[in-house]
Amino acid sequence: MSQRPIYLDCHATTPMDKRVLEAMLPYFTEHFGNPSSINHFYGWEAEVAVKKARETIANAINCSTEEMIFTSGATEANNLAIKGIAEAYFTKGKHIITVKTEHRAILDPCQYLETLGFEITYLPVQKDGLIDLELLEKTIIPETILVSVMAANNEIGVLQPLKEIGEICQKNDVLFHSDAAQAFGKIPLDVQAMNLHLLSLTAHKVYGPKGIGALYIRRRDPRVNIAPQLHGGGQEKGIRSGTLYTPQIVGFAKAIELALAEIKTENKRQKELRNRLQKQILDIEGVHLNGHPTKRLPGNINISIEGVDGAALLLGLQSIVALSSGSACTSKTTKPSHVLKALGHSDKLAYSSLRFGLGRFTNIEEIDQVSQQVINTIQSLRKAAIKT
């Protein structure tokens, strides 16, 4: 391949910002110490770097540094939140509420807990992908210990009303967790204002390194207890054992520092590009936007196309643009998107979907090139279908 395809799959992952890499490099070589080695200089300088990074990430969501636990990513953070709460609070109740459109890193742990006798309620979504707040409140029972609702959907980009959900949970004395892997650094997140008790974060969706994430765990009003899922050296207050990966943590902090510094201008720029691409593609007959038209991530477009085979569509586009038809984590499966099915789509329409994830390095020339290629491919496939 002489020229690399245009990258529009930023919900799967983002390219690391060179400024992030620059911040990380010294901690692979010069400052290589273990932050738990507190008896010598090398450990001290690593400990200082981790402490500073923890402050940066904690400040980004308005929590204390003591409430920030580093993990290997959002999947581990979600598992720690779901299974850790279930194990710590099962004497109070064994009922958990989540949503049908959640990431598999929430749904799979919940399904595992069902095998242990927990009752899980999977809330439906409305046609725009938003949950019904009245239904959520009606679903809470005395045995409910946790509500888990993602901040921004990884496929259709829909933003759930976290503040309102938090108020319902607070009123009913139920813990509230949110998977914010896609939202962190793209929308404002405030765990106090949103009444969040647990929040899962990751770095690689915001131009940071892969393999590092975090879980916010509230320590007061109320203090949240959580059962560790990894045991060993007692790092992270015993909640998550394992040697802290200093370069990754430094990179995580630098990534979110840059994202928040540029959030207003970057969101405005991405929305303009998104709307340009969306307008051109939605002009085609039989192309439908999935999810709420405005309450979604600034760089997200998810469409379904009538009369087109999804596999053929991706094949026809892959030399020009890198994108997906759903979650990257489940792209190897042959099942239609569970998110689009939850919106009421048929298997056929769900299969013929495309997810565009615009990002920091996307430009207007790329948008115009991609939109024309998508239009040409759709028209070509439809003509071929008519002939056969």
Write the pLDDT tens digit of every residue in 184-221.
999 999 999 999 999 999 999 999 999 999 999 999 99
Domains of the chain: 6-15+263-387 (3.90.1150.10), 18-260 (3.40.640.10)
Report, as residue numbers or ranges, the catalytic residues.
329
Cα-based distances in Å from 342 to 13, 129, 339: 24, 8, 5
Write the pLDDT tens digit of every residue in 354-377.
999 999 999 999 999 999 999 999
Enclosing H/E stretch for 338: helix 338-342
What one-character DSSP code corresponds to residue 26? G
pLDDT computed for residue 233 by the predictor: 87
pLDDT computed for residue 335 by the predictor: 82
DSSP-based three-state secondary structure for 269? helix
What one-character DSSP code corresponds to residue 65? G
DSSP-based three-state secondary structure for 60? helix
For residues 171 and 176, give the distance between their C-alpha atoms in angstroms, rounded to a whole number: 11
- 89-93 CB contacts, 8 Å cutoff, 24+ apart: 89/145, 89/146, 89/175, 89/225, 90/118, 90/145, 92/143, 92/145, 93/141, 93/142, 93/143, 93/144, 93/145
For residues 202 and 91, give the distance between their C-alpha atoms in angstroms, rounded to a whole number: 31
Q: Return the structure tokens found at 103.
A: 């990431």
Largest CA distance in the chain: 76
In 3D space, the residue among 297, 204, 319, 331 whose CA is nearest the CA of residue 255 turns out to be 204
pLDDT computed for residue 327 by the predictor: 47
> Which residues of the chain are modeled with pLDDT < 70?
1-2, 326-334, 387-388
